[in-house]
Amino acid sequence: MSIATDVEPSFLESENTLASWLFTKDHKRIALLFFASITFFFFIGGFAATLIRLHLANPEGLLQPAMYNRMFTMHGIVMVWFFLIPSIPTTLGNFFIPMMIGAHDLAFPRVNLGSWYVFNLSGLVLLYALIMGGIDTGWTFYTPLSTNYASGYVFAAAMAVFVNGFSSIMTALNFVVTIHRLRAPGMTWMRLPLFVWGIYAVSLVMLTATPVLAMDTMLLAVERFLGVGMFDPTRGGDPILWQHMFWFYSHPAVYIMILPAMGMVSELITCYARRPIFGYAGMTMAMMAIAIVSFFVWAHHMFVAGISVYSAIVFSLLTFFVAVPSAIKVFNWTVSLHKGVISLDAPMLYALGFVLLFTIGGVTGLMVATLAVDVPVHDTYFVIAHFHYIMVGGTVSAFFGGLHYWWPKMTGRHYPELWARFAAILTFVGFNLTFFPQFILGYLGMPRRYYTYPAEWQPWNLLSSAGASILAVAYVLPLVYLGWSLLYGRRAEGNPWRATGLEWQTPSPPPKHNFETTPVVTTSPYAYNPEDGSYVTQDGTAYA
Amino acid sequence: MPSAAATLKPEIQFATLDQQGETAQLGIWVFLATETLFFGALIFTYYIYRMSYPEQIAHAAKDAVLWCGSVNIGLLLTSSLTMVLAINAAAQGRRRELVFWLVATVALGVIFLGVKGYEYYLDYKDHVVPAANYVEKPGEGPAGEMFWVFYFVATGLHAIHLSTGIGLVLYMLWRVSRGEITPAYYAPLEVVGLYWSFVDVVWLFLYPSIYLVGRS
Amino acid sequence: MKVDAKEAGALPFVIAWLLMVGLVGLSVWTAFLPIGVWSPIIEFTVAAAQTATIFILFMRLKGPPSLKWLAAGTGFFWLLFLYGLSMTDYTTRSSWPS
Amino acid sequence: MYRWVPFWPNTASLQGVVVNNLFIAELALCVLIVGSVLAMMATFVIRYRRGSAASRGELVHKTWHWEIVWTVGTLVAFLVLFGWGAGIYVWLYQAPKGDIEIYAVAKQWMWKFQHPGGQGEIDTLHVPVGKTIRVVLASQDVIHSFYIPEFRIKHDVVPGTNQVVWFTPDKPGTYRIECTQFCGVQHATMIGNVFVMPQAAYAQWLANQGENESLAQQGEALFRTYGCSGCHGANSTVHAPSLDGLYGSLVHLQDGSVRRADEAYIRDCILTPRSFTVAGYPPVMPDFSGQISEGDVMKLIAYIQSLSSRNTRNVDSH
């Protein structure tokens, strides 16, 4: 086997024409293609965010009101559909799911490649809408503002979201089928790494939520394009129906963002604490529970929107139920540090940052789930801060953690550890400085989507803007040093972190079809022994 | 034997052709689940409005051309039959029969679209096409127009799905002519058959929703 | 009667097809009877029966891989969430319809 | 209260105080949770850092015991919070009869208020302290949201329906009214002020607004202009339901359902009468949707309301 490994070139080197990348069926290459796409959109969305924070540094602002409105709309749409939702699944998931379950590729490689093309197609449609002048409806497209009043390219933007959904569905379908059908011998469900569970749960949510949004945007586009009534109250329509269907998708979408991050962090904590995860079965059940219960809570975005009081009570109660599995997970991650051998490498710093920020986002989620408290803070900066703690503090931290963790495997090069730790700490500091003041602003009563505000709120806004500039540096920094490491980084061996997952039992970077022979799995995923530092990889090899 | 079948190997990620075929089937079923939700959401909006404006929408729905919808449900049920017979013929290696049933399936699909087109023409003459020539009828109010928006969105999407299905069956005919569909491996045809029958199922629910409820 | 593709004859499918076409007739007939809420109930029971026939027989839901059941059911099951939970709002909202 | 905390908003209504207490309780719980997670994490990271000599033997393994304790504990805490919040919410969103009923129309990008005595204001609202104020909200175009941070009340204003919010200001002063639902380019400027005045000053202010036809009187005039009185009037020969005493009563509809005749109901009946045919009456009333502005609808509602309050309570007393 070792001879064969020497002979077969890595997936990066096996063939390097443009066509070999654009028409590749290799999940690892497709993952890198996705990487390029979502990095591009991350910086577009980040650019808009930077402008927003610059603008809000003082009440007079920087941009014209109409331009400001277009900026936050663009920030929302790009970040939600073109970065956060695809981020972990299409890149890290695409690259590592087959490797972690011991498969040679995803079940449907052509569908996988198609997903990337569809994603870029929807991205082009969105860019067209943005370049032609953008839209000013907010990413939620609430009717009748979006259908009858907003100027701009609402139709094109809605179509971009519609087409983007196909990409989500294609990717998710691939994962579900692959995880069901292509696990290596011995890889039972209770031996799956938690990242695989996270991706499985998220795929389930994507598959069942996205079609409803697709139909909703479809009807919106029809109404906007043809000028017929569907959600228009003057023609008998119900604007709140748009919101019901929108949030039927967009609430689970929050879990689409966070579930893979939860899986990711479980990998990181076990590897850098060198001990098994505390309560593996509980973790898997919690993730599946979150995936399913996330569909029962959508109307908590609508407590003040004019739904019936009875309905609001039902949804509030259900929302508290979805918080229980999240609480279990936080508890388990924390206890997983107990009696470990903890090294604070960059991925672990990101993971610990994730747990803290997710906890803050989670407990403030309890506050907005409480009906009476949601009444004053709904649609204020309190909610903005809350969901950024989950999506940016949570998902983006986990994404960066995973990116660093697997960087040697993906590229065959080590990232510079000191710089990476610095960036991780900077992210944490910058993030809190940006978003914590927004909790205060929110309870003081600053509504979201305001291009100007009373002068008395300026100190908090200024603080937030200052934090945002730190955060911007912390996000650009990895781009620089990771890029540098591609050329000058130290060569990485197969398993530099001495981790147990199957993906590490290949050379770095892995060969084209991952494994020479299909591995046979004999152990649970995190067979680390903190007492003597030994560990057993999933294919059964024991190391001292 | 055609050489394609003799040299047929599973793709790298599969151990056997059987595993590959079954995985493809599972894939299309998962896809059909998303389609269920897609059309289900449309029917959901329809019934929300129908609940709110029962009389007005029932009034508008009486103008839908019942015979067209009924003929079409017959055509689609029949096409599901021809499709399954085609799959049986493929599995049992009866190639002439296979081609015959596939052509029949395409023909039924095309006739369906023809009838649908004629129905649209009748609708147009009846002035019920929103955004084109809609004229509000007494007793219907704005809800009447909402019915017709639903009608055109639903039947239009269904027609797009059916046209895709026709394209896929034609593609299968092409693959049959190249000898790629054999008793050893006919999973692609099964996948197309599943999709085709599902498009039929969608119509089974659209049909009573549009043409039957509230007729009496 | 064999229904597996490898050995099935046409007969079971033709019988099922005849049944389903007959059910369409039943549906249309009851649509014109003055039986109030029963007529949509019958119409949708017919649709469900036809769907079950097509799923189980024509689309061979019984065969391997067994997970097909799960996938086929999930779509309908999830629709229940959408329909059911929305009804908590639509059946109790006082200002609807306007 | 709480003014010594630089980041705490003022609280100026009964509702504000009630919500605030819950908010503080939740905040304390949040600090407790985040604090314990942080403390545990910090302890473990320091104690079990790589190279430390702390014993790693006997990992806590079999976990159901802990999991169940932790899960049930959080669940109980959550249920308490839920119940507390839901109780207040029901109270906030089921407006009682107010001392003063204000009609508000939101449109891009302003708030238009009308007092029962017919006085109109734009982007300002004068109310007396200590009275229960009911605000009936309608929107002319898109969804807006009526929010007064100091009162801790908010409600979306959805076009096509009426919504009601209520509050009892308990401190004189000037507070901001904000729109919190993005409503177009000038969303951020859709800000008004509510002036909470001592009752004497409020009476003075009302008197200074000059002679006005009351809202109900204006509604009565519209009642004739739109031809409503032809059928609903006392001497009409058409078989139409009488509107005396309608407001607040229970109405039996043709389809068997029963509705409370509140503002939203009356509005619906005017705009789409066919959906609300009253039991025992022919469905002959024409559809007024799209033909009456939101402001006029509100005046008509005020008039119909006054038909019942003549007997039960005296609207014009304040």
Q: Is A337 on the interface with D (CB under 8 A)?
A: yes
Residues D195 and D105 in one domain: yes
Give the Cα separation of D296 and B103 in Å (integer). Answer: 65
In D, which residues are within 8 Å of C96 by CB distance?
161
Q: Is D308 a residue whose pLDDT tops 80? A: no
Q: Is D241 a residue whose pLDDT tops 50? A: yes
Cβ neighbours, 10 Å, residue D231: 15
Rounded to a whole number, what is the distance in Å from the CA of C69 to chain A's nearest CA? 14
Q: Is B19 on the interface with C (CB under 8 A)?
A: no
Rounded to a whole number, what is the distance in Å from the CA of C2 to chain B's nearest CA? 11
Q: Is D318 a residue whose pLDDT tops 70? A: no
Instruction: Tell me whether residues B204 and C83 touch, CB distance under 8 A.
Output: no
Report if residue A99 sits inside a domain: yes
Q: Is A222 on the interface with B (CB under 8 A)?
A: yes
Residues D171 and D270 in one domain: no
**3-state secondary structure (DSSP) of residue A11:** coil
In C, which residues are within 8 Å of B80 by CB distance?
17, 54, 58
Interface test with A, best of C89, C95, C98 (most A CBs within 10 A): C89
Residues D128 and D177 in one domain: yes
For range A365-382, the mean pLDDT: 95
Rounded to a whole number, what is the distance in Å from the CA of B171 to chain C's nearest CA? 20
Nearest to A202 by CA among A292, A140, A279: A292
Report if residue C52 sits inside a domain: yes
In B, which residues are within 8 Å of D284 by CB distance?
none
- Tokens linked to B33: 């689940």
Residues D110 and D150 in one domain: yes
In A, which residues are within 8 Å of C64 by CB distance?
none
Q: Is D141 on the interface with B (CB under 8 A)?
A: no
Interface test with B, best of A94, A110, A181 (most B CBs within 10 A): A181
Domain count, chain C: 1
Q: Say how many CB pairs under 8 Å bridge B and D.
A: 10
Rounded to a whole number, what is the distance in Å from the CA of B197 to chain C's nearest CA? 7
pTM, 2 dp: 0.91
pLDDT tier, A520 (very low <50, low <70, confident <90, very high otherwise): very high
Average pLDDT across chain A, whole number: 93
Last residue of a domain, one of D152, D182, D208: D208
Domain count, chain A: 1
Cβ neighbours, 10 Å, residue C76: 14
Q: Residue D4: what pLDDT? A: 55
User: What DSSP string describes B19-77?
Assistant: HHHHHHHHHHHHHHHHHHHHHHHHHHHHHHHHHHSHHHHHHHHTTS-HHHHHHHHHHHH
Report if residue B29 sits inside a domain: yes
In A, which residues are within 8 Å of C93 by CB distance?
306-308, 311
Runs of H (alpha helix) within A336-457? 346-369, 371-377, 381-388, 397-411, 417-444
Report if residue A92 sits inside a domain: yes
pLDDT tier, D60 (very low <50, low <70, confident <90, very high otherwise): low
Report if residue A17 sits inside a domain: no
Residue with the bigger pLDDT between A260 and D236: it is A260
Q: Is B2 a residue whose pLDDT tops 50? A: no
Instruction: Tell me whether residues B146 and A230 touch, CB distance under 8 A.
Output: yes
Instruction: Tell me whether residues B37 and A212 touch, CB distance under 8 A.
Output: yes
- Tokens linked to A111: 């569908």
- The residue in chain D having the minimum alpha-carbon distance to the alpha carbon of residue A332 is D67
Please tell me which of A353-357, B177-181, D241-245, D250-254 the model is most confident about, judged by mean pLDDT.
A353-357
Q: Residue D312: what pLDDT? A: 43
Q: Residue D5: what pLDDT? A: 62
Instruction: Tell me whether residues B30 and C43 touch, CB distance under 8 A.
Output: no
Q: Residue A2: what pLDDT? A: 41
Rounded to a whole number, what is the distance in Å from the CA of D210 to chain A's nearest CA? 33
Q: Is A276 on the interface with D (CB under 8 A)?
A: yes
Q: Is C43 on the interface with B (CB under 8 A)?
A: yes
In chain D, which among 255-274 make CB contacts under 8 A with chain C? 259-260, 262, 264-265, 267-268, 271-272
Instruction: Tell me whether residues A245 and B44 touch, CB distance under 8 A.
Output: yes
In C, which residues are within 8 Å of B44 by CB distance?
79, 82-83, 86
Cβ neighbours, 10 Å, residue D286: 10
Q: Residue B200: what pLDDT? A: 95
Q: Is A460 on the interface with D (CB under 8 A)?
A: yes
| E strands present in A135-182 | none
The residue range of the domain holding C44 is 11-90
pLDDT tier, D263 (very low <50, low <70, confident <90, very high otherwise): confident
Instruction: Tell me whether residues B13 and A98 touch, CB distance under 8 A.
Output: yes
Report if residue A239 sits inside a domain: yes
**Smallest Cβ distance to A236: which of B34, B142, B153?**
B142
Please give the DSSP secondary-structure letter assigned to residue A93: I
Q: Residue D245: what pLDDT? A: 79
Instruction: Tell me whether residues D45 and A278 touch, CB distance under 8 A.
Output: no
Residues composing chain C = 98
Q: Residue A7: what pLDDT? A: 57
- How far apart, in Å, are the Cα atoms of D15 and each of A381, B92, B182, D6, D133? 21, 76, 75, 22, 12
In D, which residues are within 8 Å of B142 by CB distance?
289
Instruction: Tell me whether residues D264 and C95 touch, CB distance under 8 A.
Output: yes
Instruction: Tell me whether residues C78 and A295 touch, CB distance under 8 A.
Output: yes
The residue range of the domain holding A281 is 31-543
Average pLDDT across chain B, whole number: 92
Instruction: Tell me whether residues C35 and B66 touch, CB distance under 8 A.
Output: no
Give the Cα separation of D91 and A364 in Å (integer). Answer: 23
Q: Is A304 on the interface with C (CB under 8 A)?
A: no
Q: Which residues of D113-146 are buried (b: 16+ CB within 10 A; e: fewer)?
A: bbbbbbbebeeebbbbbebbbbbbbbbbbbbbbb
Q: Residue D313: what pLDDT? A: 39
Q: Residue D317: what pLDDT? A: 35
Q: Is D260 a residue whose pLDDT tops 90? A: no
Q: Residue A384: what pLDDT? A: 96
Report if residue D11 sits inside a domain: no
Min mean pLDDT across A356-365, B167-176, D59-68, D204-213 is at D59-68
Report if residue A478 sits inside a domain: yes
For range A52-78, the mean pLDDT: 93
For range D11-16, the mean pLDDT: 93
Q: Residue D187: what pLDDT? A: 94
Residue with the bigger pLDDT between A242 and B141: it is A242
Dihedral sign for Cα D153, A451, A143, D287, please: positive
Q: Is D67 a residue whose pLDDT tops 80? A: no
For range B100-114, the mean pLDDT: 97
Report if residue B38 sits inside a domain: yes
Chains near A, with 3+ CB pairs < 8 A?
Answer: B, C, D
Report if residue A223 sits inside a domain: yes
Instruction: Tell me whether residues A219 and B37 touch, CB distance under 8 A.
Output: no
Residue pair A182/A107 in contact by the 8 Å Cβ criterion: yes
Q: Is D275 on the interface with C (CB under 8 A)?
A: yes
pLDDT tier, D209 (very low <50, low <70, confident <90, very high otherwise): confident
Instruction: Tell me whether residues C98 and D161 touch, CB distance under 8 A.
Output: yes
Interface test with A, best of C69, C85, C96 (most A CBs within 10 A): C85
Q: Residue D315: what pLDDT? A: 37
Percent of chain D with pLDDT over 90: 43
Give the Cα separation of A214 and A210 in Å (integer). Answer: 6
pLDDT tier, B12 (very low <50, low <70, confident <90, very high otherwise): confident
Q: Residue A177: what pLDDT? A: 95
Residue with the bigger pLDDT between A99 and A544: it is A99
Residues D195 and D111 in one domain: yes
Report if residue B118 sits inside a domain: yes
In B, which residues are within 8 Å of D287 by CB distance?
141
Q: In whole angstroms, what separates CA A124 from the centre of its chain? A: 21
Residues D105 and D181 in one domain: yes
For range A225-244, the mean pLDDT: 90
Min mean pLDDT across A461-465, D182-186, D241-245 is at D241-245
Q: Residue A170: what pLDDT? A: 96
Given the cut 0.95, state whether the ipTM is greater than it: no
For range A507-534, the mean pLDDT: 91
In B, which residues are within 8 Å of A245 by CB distance?
41, 44-45
Q: Is D1 a residue whose pLDDT tops 60? A: no
In A, which residues are within 8 Å of D55 by CB distance?
339
Report if residue D157 sits inside a domain: yes
- How far apart, in Å, are the Cα atoms of A73 and each of A79, A84, A150, A304, D284? 10, 15, 12, 22, 47
Q: CB-based contacts of C50: which residues, under 8 Å, 6+ apart?
A: B77, B201, B204, C20, C23, C24
For range D7-31, the mean pLDDT: 92
Q: Is B3 a residue whose pLDDT tops 60? A: no
Nearest to A304 by CA among A375, A246, A384, A373: A375
Report if residue A245 sits inside a domain: yes
The residue range of the domain holding D240 is 215-317
Dihedral sign for Cα A127, A129, A133, A137, please: negative
Q: Is A274 a residue whose pLDDT tops 80? A: yes
Q: In whole angstroms, what separates CA A110 from the centre of its chain? A: 24
Q: Is A521 a residue whose pLDDT tops 60? A: yes
Give the Cα separation of C90 and A314 in Å (integer). Answer: 13
Rounded to a whole number, what is the distance in Å from the CA of C98 to chain D's nearest CA? 5
- A454-476 pLDDT, tens digit per residue, is 988 999 999 999 999 999 999 99
Give the Cα separation of A452 and B206 in Å (integer). Answer: 49
Domain count, chain D: 2
Report if residue D68 sits inside a domain: no
- The residue in chain D having the minimum alpha-carbon distance to the alpha carbon of residue A318 is D82
Q: Is B208 a residue whose pLDDT tops 90? A: yes
For residue D258, the surrounding DSSP H or E stretch is strand D258-260
- The residue in chain C having the minimum alpha-carbon distance to the alpha carbon of residue B142 is C98
Domain count, chain B: 1
Q: Is B192 a residue whose pLDDT tops 50? A: yes
Supply the CATH number for residue B197's domain: 1.20.120.80
The residue range of the domain holding B137 is 15-212
In C, which residues are within 8 Å of D140 by CB distance?
none
Report if residue C22 sits inside a domain: yes
Instruction: Tell me whether residues B215 and C6 touch, CB distance under 8 A.
Output: no
**Smallest Cβ distance to B91: which of C5, C21, C58?**
C5
Q: pLDDT 10s digit of each residue in chain C, 98 long?
A: 677 888 888 899 999 999 999 999 999 999 998 888 899 999 999 999 999 999 999 998 877 777 888 899 999 999 999 999 999 999 888 755 44
Supply the CATH number for residue A75's domain: 1.20.210.10
pLDDT tier, D29 (very low <50, low <70, confident <90, very high otherwise): very high
- A122-164 pLDDT, tens digit per residue, is 999 999 999 888 898 999 999 899 998 888 899 999 999 999 9
How would you class A344 by CB atoms within 10 Å of its CB: exposed for 0-12, middle for 13-18, buried for 19 or more?
middle
- D78-95 pLDDT, tens digit per residue, is 999 999 999 999 999 988
Nearest to D152 by CA among A367, A364, A372, A436: A372
